[in-house]
Structures are given as structure tokens and as C-alpha cells.
A and B are shown apart, each in its own frame.
Chain A
Amino acid sequence: MSNIVETKNLKNFFQSKKGTVKAVNDVTLNVVKGETLGVVGESGCGKTTLGRTILKLIEPTDGKIFFDGEDITDHSGKKMREFRKKMNIVFQDPVSALNPQMTVYDHLDRPLEIHNMVSSEDEKLTKMVDILNTMGLKAEHLIRYPHELSGGQKQRVCIARALCLEPDFLVLDEPTSALDVSVQSKILKLLDRAKEKFDVSYMFISHNINLVRAISDRLGVMYLGRLVEVGDSDEIFENPQHPYTKALFKSVPQPDPDEKVEAPLSGQVPSPVEPPEGCNFAPRCKQKIGEICEKHDPELKESGERKIACHLYY
């Protein structure tokens, strides 16, 4: 299987008054065509910045981004325009992602016109209705304004807008975090259906670990700008290896009164400004093996079927 997206040693650093924020630090990953790559991590771990950098919504500081085999790292804004059609993003908050003065029709019309996707008004309408149906909405929703839609419906419009250009790759950045549980599961099912229908690959970013588990084929765990574990989603959930992944999973409450969480992670994520020397996780790690963890930053290396950045597994 070939990759739709690939990054090599991708870095994104920001300058702040306090120093350099290493938001994305040396991330090498790939998204295989047709799969969903889940990305989990706590706030400030860089998962959102990673998603946006891959789409070149933010210019990377260093490293390479490949889309369908082509190096797009240095593509200018103008050259990126043809790629915009093929790669898109859905944001967390559908309220701020939609223009309150525009109808659903307008929201879908813009991208279709800009990218010359349709040749006639009839074709356009057919396309719009088809995409709305896929997202569980009806033709009558075309004339609605955002305030006339529920939160879940708004998010479905956002997804429809992203899908109407028939992209190959979508970044879904916490697409259900602002929604109720029963609506969350509905959106997730629709996304799964749309993936098969439009043959699109997803990068699903979320801090809701149960949700990511349900939708991902492969999983990447991020901590302080770094990818610490990548591999088959089910296998990582069955048998997490990186000490951070283990601790993170233990913190997640399960909807079962007989299963209780532990609070294995004391303290909080350190600031990404001038992160600790050596392994970023060392100060909170219970399986630290000594000086090496404090002095040397572990690289993401293959360990069987998956990749882990931890000295324990070298």
C-alpha cells in the first residue's frame, strides 16, 4: 500500500517571549491510502499543530512533507492551491467554522466554484444533495442558515463542505468534541461511511481516547511535540508499550462501573518551551532506566510491528 501523506523529521517551532516552543519536534509518520490514522495526546502535545503543518496551513520549520509521493514542503501558496482540493480539514467548533450570514448552499457553493468542480447548476445541485445525503442531511437543508441547525447538523455541514471537493485526505481535528455523546457516535458512523464511499484517508486528532480507538486503523501517540509510539491501533490498545501510552490509557475512564481508573500520571505536561533534556517524558516516567533517559533523547525506532521512542526498547 502506498502512502497518501508522509512526513520526514517534521518540525514546527514558534518563538515566544519565554523561548522556543517546540510544538512539533522531529515527527516522521505516514498515512497509508484508505486508512484512518488516529493521533492522541493531551493538550499542548502538538497534535493540532501537526495536522495543520501537514496541510501547510502553517509553514514547517524543518523537515519534509510528501503528498501522494510529491514533496510539497516548499510549494508556494499558488502551487498549493491545486493540493487544497485534495487535502482538507474539519475543525472542532462548527459554530466558528461556518459563516452565520451564509446558507448551507453558499457554504458548499464556494469550494465547488473555486475549484471548478461542476459545469452546470443542475450538476452542482445533484452533487450537493448527494453529499448532504451521505452526511444524513436532506436537500431542504440547503436553504438553512447555521443558526437554524443543531450542533451536530452544523458539524455535518462542515464535513460535507470538506468532502464535496472529493479530497484524498482529511484532517479531522477533534470533530466531535463540541457535541453530545449520542451525536458523537452518529458523526463517527457517518464519517466511517463517507470514508468508504469517497475513498478518502483520515487523520483523526482527538484527546478522547475511546473515540480514537473506535475509528482508527493505526494510532500515533504524541507527547510534548514528539511521536512516542506508532502502530496498529488495536495492538497498541491491547498492549501499550511506551510508558506514557500505558499511563495515558490507565487514566481513561471506561463506561463500566467495575473498571476503575488509576491516576498514574502525577504532575502535568511540562511546558513545550525549552522542554527537559533527554527524553521529554523522563521527569514523569515510572520506568526510567537511569542516566540515559535524562541525557539522551530516544529516537522513534522500530520494535517489532510498531515504532517506539523509549530507551527500554532499544
Chain B
Amino acid sequence: MVEKVNKGEPILKINDIILDFSTEEGTVKALDDVSLTVKKGEIHGLIGETGCGKSVTSLTTLGLLDDNAIIRGGEVFYRGEDLLEMSEKELRKNVRGNEISMIFQNPSTSLNPVYTAGEQVKESIVLYQSDDDDESQRLVLDELDRVKLPDPEEVYKKYPHELSGGMMQRVMIAMMLACNSNLLIADEPTTALDVSIQAQFLKVLEELKEKEELSILYITHDMAVISEICDKVTVMYGGQIAETAEVHDIFNNPRHPYTNGLIHSVPGVKKDVKEFETIPGTVPRLINPPSGCRFHPRCEYAQEICKEERPPLERIGKEHLVACHFWEEVE
């Protein structure tokens, strides 16, 4: 990783990824021309419903896909180098951990139950910072303090089962920080947490972004969390990118009918169930996805062209991209 990236410049560029899974039932067209860019020091939200390909996108980035995945095209540039060209060994040595880290939904399955929290963070310290016993121990305490864990010395000695979900998730972040990663991929990190704990956790992420220019790709299906911490948002539907824009544009000026539908079906926008709007139909199966725009069977704006032609991801503003034939008509 030679290229130096300054704040506001792209650190991760995913270009036109096409990816299939071969399964017994047939070929699942999981990603169809997926592109997205995460800039240094920004929190980029990736939102979509179950099976839309948001997790697959992140796993592709880290080379963590199952054997039945076939990448048919595209590239993943991280600080100027294509991760898809790297060998497993190179990824392990130079990328995972020291450059890009990932945290998952359920921290209790990511932590080892038979080691204390401190020992697990120390492992990262020894690998990436210092193998001196006293010094590494001190560094662990620094990292635990950085993620706002109360009483780091106590937490150091605790086993995962003695910590709450929010504390475990912060230990995960501490492990990531110990590796000096520049990019964090967080896959639904707060779904298992209570709101009060979620609020604390989100504050920690925002502070890391502000103070240390950490870049975060934040995957979730929760629109409220997206509006809370993200600078930019990418909306995925059925393995395709529907829309990318700055967070205010996504919420105040959505141009894709799916984005619009998602926002209006979120409780909180409408305060009464009687006013809820819903998107008709269900998420498509990607073994035999709809032709053209994959959203067309559920779309109120759909016309003949939507069945036949896939809309290109068009730039309609400085940071605003949308894939819809009728983006000008959406309201």
C-alpha cells in the first residue's frame, strides 16, 4: 500500500463488480455491476434489505467469499491497488487487519470465549505494534480507553460473557484500532444492541472518524442509524446500486423510487401506522432476477422501457448518482 490518501480522497473504490454464486438451484446473480467509493474520513452507509448484496459486497472487498463465488468482472481498488489481484497470502499479510478490519452483527460470536478481552486485543498489538510484554499491555489499556470503555483495567481481565453486547462491540473496535486499520467495515454492528448502548457506540464511531480520520463502510438496513452517522449513503436493491448521494439528499431529495419507498416505510417518518406507506411485492430472488431494472415489478413509475433496459447509474449531481429511467419524476 504505497499510495497516500488525504482526507476526502477515495480510499476504497469498488468498480463494476459482477459476481455470481453457483448453487444447486442455479446461478445466483448476487452482484450486478456494483460500484461504490468510500472516501478517507467519511462514514459511508450501505443500505438495503436482506439478500440485496450488501454483505457480499463487503466480503468481496476482503476476499472472504465462499468457494462457490465467481467474480465475473470488476475491480476493488484500495489505496491504489486492486485487491482482487492479490493472493490470499498477500491479503492476509498486508490488507486484513492492518489496513481493513471488519466487525459483525453479533460480537459474542466474533470474540473467543476462553480468552479475556484484554488478551484478545493484545494479540493485535503484538502482531502490529509491539511484542514487548509490558508495553503491549499498556497499549491495550490505551486502546480500551480510546473506545470509551469504562475502567479499562477491569475490562482487560473480563471474559466475553462478562461483558454486555455494547462493551463486546467496543472491544472489537479496540482490536481493530490496535491493528492501525484505516478502513472499518461494520456489518450491522448495532442490530443486537439496545438503543441506549447503540447511541453510545455510534458516538464512539463518530469520534474516531473526526479525530483519527477513520473511514467506515457502515452496512445496515436501519434508515434511522444511517441518517444518524453517515456522510454518504448507497442504496442497494437486488444486487444492483439504486442510488448514491450525500445523506441529506437521500432523505430530502431521493430520486430512486425504491429509496423513496424505503424512507416512507420507516416508522419515525410517519408517526401513525395509518399513514405508513409500503412497497408492494417482495424482494426478488436472484436466481432468476427480473429483466431490465430489477425493481420494476414493484415500481409505481415502471413503464415498458424498465422491463427491457437496465437504467445506467447516472450522475445527476456532484455526489448524486441514480439508476432509474424516470428519476426526474419521482416524488
Q: Which residues of A contact B (CB under 8 A)?
A: 42-43, 150-152, 180-186, 188-189, 191-192, 207-211, 213-215, 237, 247-248, 250-269
Residues of B contacting A252 in the complex (Cβ-Cβ under 8 angstroms): 195, 224
From residue B144, how far is it (CB to closest CB) to chain A in Å? Answer: 16
CA distance A178 to B235 in the complex (A): 21
A185: nearest chain-B partner, CB-CB = B265
* Among all A-B residue pairs, the 8 with the closest Cβ atoms: A210-B268, A265-B196, A253-B224, A251-B199, A263-B199, A185-B265, A42-B194, A210-B267
26 contacts between A and B (CB under 8 A): A151-B50, A181-B223, A181-B262, A181-B266, A182-B49, A183-B282, A185-B266, A191-B273, A213-B267, A213-B268, A237-B271, A248-B195, A248-B196, A251-B199, A252-B195, A253-B202, A254-B224, A255-B226, A256-B251, A256-B268, A257-B227, A261-B202, A262-B199, A263-B202, A264-B199, A268-B197
Q: How far is the CA of A254 from the CA of B274 in the complex (A)?
A: 19
Residues of B within 8 Å of A262, CB to CB, are: 199
Q: Is B314 in contact with chain A by the CB < 8 A criterion?
A: no
Chain B contact residues, CB within 8 Å of chain A:
49-50, 150, 164, 166-167, 194-200, 202-203, 221-228, 247-248, 251, 261-263, 265-274, 276-279, 282-283
Are A247 and B196 in contact (CB-based, < 8 A)?
yes
A213 nearest CB across to chain B (Å): 6
CB <8 Å contact, A207 and B273: no
Structural contact, B49 and A180, CB atoms closer than 8 A: yes
Chain B residues closer than 8 Å to A185, beta-carbon distance: 265-267, 276-278
- Determine which of A181, A254, A260, A265 lies in contact with B265 in the assembled complex, contact meaning CB atoms within 8 Å: A181
Question: How distant is the Cα of A257 from the Cα of B262 in the complex, in angstroms?
Answer: 15
Would you call A182 and B194 a contact (CB within 8 A)?
no
**Beta-carbon contact of B274 and A251 below 8 Å:** no
Taking CB atoms, residues of chain A closer than 8 Å to B164 are 268
CB distance from B252 to the nearest CB of A (A): 8
User: Across the interface, which residues of A come within 8 angstroms of B266, CB to CB?
Assistant: 181, 185, 210, 255
Given A185-B267, A263-B203: A192 in contact with B224 (beta carbons within 8 A): no
Q: How far is the CA of A152 from the CA of B274 in the complex (A)?
A: 19
Instruction: Establish whether residues A182 and B262, one from each chain, have CB atoms under 8 Å apart when the complex forms.
Output: yes
Q: Report the Cα distance A97→B198, complex, angstroms.
A: 28
Whether A188 lies near B282 (C-beta < 8 A) is: no
Out of B247, B267, B274, B282, which one reaches A211, CB within 8 Å? B267
- In the complex, are the beta carbons of A253 and B270 less than 8 A apart? no
Q: Is the CB of B273 within 8 A of A192?
A: yes
Chain A residue at minimal CB-CB distance from B166: A268
Task: Kindly list chain B residues whose C-beta atoms are within 8 Å of the C-beta of A248.
Answer: 195-196
Provide the bound-state CA to CA distance between A184 and B276, in Å.
Answer: 10
